[in-house]
Structure 1
Amino acid sequence: MYKVFLLSLLLAGPAVAQTLDVAPTLIADRKAVFATVESVDTLTARTRIGGTIVDLLVDEGDFVEAGDVLALVVNEQMAPQIASATSQAAALEAELAQSRVDLERAQDLFSRGIIAQSRLDQAQTAVAVLEGRLASATQSRDVLVQQEREGQVLAPAAGRVLDVLTPSGSVMLPGEPVAIIASDHYLLRLNLPERHARSIAVGDEIEVAGAALGGDVASMGVIRQVYPLITNGRIVADAEVEGLGSYFVGERVRVHIAVETREVIVIPRGYATTRFGNDFVILETDSGRRDVVVLLGRDLAEGVEILAGLSAGDTLVQP
């Protein structure tokens, strides 16, 4: 058996070592930054009439739909005004009914030649005037009723209530804020040094740090907007990441973003060996093979980065 094994080795001949031509490749440098969870739109629910908040229906953290009633503002002057307008409309309706009866009587008398045309015209004019006054009074009453309905503070959009600014019992003027609502569409807002302003663009991918992930949060996101204004040496960009709805607005999350590309030398990890604390590769030269000390960098998906010791065009031999 042993003789057969030796014979097979002799017939097979010497093994051919694999070689690799060193060539530079482009990689993206990633920068770790903190991003904050923000809502795409932050809206304010405001009062439409002045009055007193008699009923507050929401609290911080509640989710509301567009058009939901958040609070009820009551103006104590509205009820007497509506009652007065209703009484005026009722009185005019009674007068109009009597005028129509008078008009019918006048038409009957005119048809029999008892009264003149002028008396009939007066009766018709009285009915027309009262109809106009009744329509005006009814519209005035409808306006007051609509103003009373506008005491309902409505949610401007669907979202989560971030802050309730006024407690129940507060006296409000028209247009004062009652609650702040964050829309149900969340994103990550990044703040980067201004030197990276021209190296990021819409469509670039970001990587959300694994420690910050929740159950449904995606590990990757895409930049959707880069703001053109630089403030205090910082540029702001927004990124879309799926599954941010369970986060708190303002929560900080670590992300990695590619800020620039550079040429590096990357070789498969199997071409490097470590002896006595130093890293070596086998270099194929015209005079033969020799070991060369190299300085290894970070591990990448393609292999390991070579910081020093090799140049483009070198030929490596796998150990």
Structure 2
Amino acid sequence: MRLIALVAVVLAALPGVLTAQELYTVSPASLTEWKAVYGRIEARDQIPARARLGGTLKRLDVTEGDRVSTGQDLARIIDDKLEFRLSALDARSEALQSQLRNAEAELERGEALLERGVTTAQRLDALRTDVNVLRNELDGVQADRRVIEQQVTEGTVLAPLEGRVLDVPVTEGAVVMPGEVVAMIGGNGFFLRLAVPERHANFLVEGDSIQIEEQGASQSGTLARIYPQIENGRVVADVEVPNLSDAFVNKRVLVRLPVATREALVVPEKALITRAGLDYVEVTEGDETILRSVLPGQRHVIEGRDMVEIVTGVRAGEKVVVGDE
């Protein structure tokens, strides 16, 4: 046993004698070509919160950047004419109620007189008609009042969806018209929108993984949608990114898109040896190893392992020595 251990130590110390675990067979690998473009952070839905009533904006409770929930009260619009119309309808309602009470009293007297034979049935029918007409007029006035009350409630501007306030184009005290935008709300998630040169359109595939760099950190997204219409020589595409920050909508973010694939020779990054500014790898030739100068290229991560592309210096099928990882 001691002899075997001694032989192993001697073999390990000798250059040119390798174990199988230390060798890597150089073979072509399929590498992805990435195109650097800028994408903009946009809201999936941008819906305006509009004024349903024309009048004066008496209260404005939100500003740009605020978060809102669906149905939240954003602003209050008041039309003074509606209060006057309500007062007029209330006065008319009181007058009709007085007329109705008088007509009902006349009808009761007419019924009593008819029983004694003092009045005619025709006169009694006329009194009943007057009562019915007044009741219907009173119902109409009350219906008109409910319409005005509904218009008053429509002076409250509500958030159409949950999200962030992107723009508030009005100020408190301004006169707004029905349908005018009070606030623009962005919600239902945020995504990156890209404009890619059309020469790369055929290489874009929905579902591809996309690399995103923001504030020095790198994360991945998914190419969710590619729009078929080309505008100004560019293809528009959407990228879904989990936990994408919505602090700045329309912010530009660096994105790297897979636009092509190519074959290249790669070796583990640990196989590179740098001496005096030159890069080498140890290549086996028979039972020995030689130190060969190589020209490394781009770094890649393949199946979770750090690899480096070798532009020249090695051939496919050769075995290189990999250092301790």
The code of the aligned residue for 1:109 comes to L
In structure 1, C-alpha distance between the alignment counterparts of 2:216 and 2:43, rounded to whole Å: 18
In structure 2, C-alpha distance between the alignment counterparts of 1:9 and 1:54, rounded to whole Å: 93
CA 59–7 in structure 1, closer or farther in 2 if over 3 Å, else same: closer
The code of the aligned residue for 1:262 comes to R
Alignment partner of 1:33: what SS? strand
Which blocks of at least 5 consecutive residues in structure 1 are unaligned? none
Alignment partner of 1:109: what SS? helix
State which of 27, 42, 45 in structure 1 corresponds to 2:46.
42
> How far 1:227 moved relative to its partner?
2.1
Could you report, residue by residue, the CA deviation over 1:195-216 in whole angstroms, capped at 9, with x for unpaired residues?
2222223322222226344xxx
The code of the aligned residue for 2:238 comes to D
Q: Percent identity?
A: 36
Partner of 1:142: 146
Partner of 1:194: 198
Could you report, residue by residue, the CA deviation over 1:20-75 in whole angstroms, capped at 9, with x for unpaired residues?
54432212222232222211112212212221222222222222222222222222
More strand by share: 2
Could you report, residue by residue, the CA deviation over 1:83-105 in whole angstroms, capped at 9, with x for unpaired residues?
11121122112212222222223
Partner of 1:318: 321
Which blocks of at least 5 consecutive residues in structure 2 are unaligned? none
> How far 1:120 moved relative to its partner?
2.0
CA 11–308 in structure 1, closer or farther in 2 if over 3 Å, else same: closer
Alignment partner of 2:178: what SS? coil
Asked if residue 155 in structure 1 is aligned to residue 159 in structure 2, the reply is yes
How do 1:25-64 and structure 2 match up within 5 A? 25-64=29-68
CA 195–138 in structure 1, closer or farther in 2 if over 3 Å, else same: same
CA 108–35 in structure 1, closer or farther in 2 if over 3 Å, else same: same
CA 17–7 in structure 1, closer or farther in 2 if over 3 Å, else same: closer
Could you report, residue by residue, the CA deviation over 1:131-169 in whole angstroms, capped at 9, with x for unpaired residues?
211111111122122222222222222222222211122
In structure 1, C-alpha distance between the alignment counterparts of 2:234 and 2:63, rounded to whole Å: 35
Partner of 1:131: 135
In structure 2, C-alpha distance between the alignment counterparts of 1:195 and 1:278, rounded to whole Å: 36
In structure 2, C-alpha distance between the alignment counterparts of 1:23 and 1:7, rounded to whole Å: 34
Matched positions, count: 309
> How far 1:11 moved relative to its partner?
12
State which of 85, 99, 102 in structure 1 corresponds to 2:89.
85
CA 169–274 in structure 1, closer or farther in 2 if over 3 Å, else same: closer
Could you report, residue by residue, the CA deviation over 1:211-263 in whole angstroms, capped at 9, with x for unpaired residues?
344xxxx8222222222222222222222222234521122222323222222
CA 130–228 in structure 1, closer or farther in 2 if over 3 Å, else same: same
CA 225–168 in structure 1, closer or farther in 2 if over 3 Å, else same: same
In structure 2, C-alpha distance between the alignment counterparts of 1:29 and 1:10, rounded to whole Å: 44
Indicate if the aligned counterparts of 2:281 and 2:320 stay in contact, CA closer than 8 A.
no
Alignment partner of 2:34: what SS? strand
Worse-matched range after superposition: 172-181 or 268-277: 268-277
Partner of 1:282: 283
Could you say what the CA RMSD is over the residues aligned between the two structures, in angstroms? 3.0
In structure 2, C-alpha distance between the alignment counterparts of 1:155 and 1:123, rounded to whole Å: 53
Indicate if the aligned counterparts of 2:214 and 2:253 stay in contact, CA closer than 8 A.
no
> How far 1:17 moved relative to its partner?
5.1
Partner of 1:241: 241
Alignment partner of 1:142: what SS? helix
Indicate if the aligned counterparts of 1:281 and 1:294 stay in contact, CA closer than 8 A.
no
Indicate if the aligned counterparts of 1:212 and 1:254 stay in contact, CA closer than 8 A.
no
Alignment partner of 1:93: what SS? helix
In structure 2, C-alpha distance between the alignment counterparts of 1:78 and 1:11, rounded to whole Å: 100
Asked if residue 267 in structure 1 is aligned to residue 267 in structure 2, the reply is yes
Alignment partner of 1:40: what SS? strand
Worse-matched range after superposition: 194-203 or 106-115: 106-115
Alignment partner of 2:87: what SS? helix
Indicate if the aligned counterparts of 1:284 and 1:317 stay in contact, CA closer than 8 A.
no
Partner of 1:307: 311
In structure 2, C-alpha distance between the alignment counterparts of 1:267 and 1:185, rounded to whole Å: 41
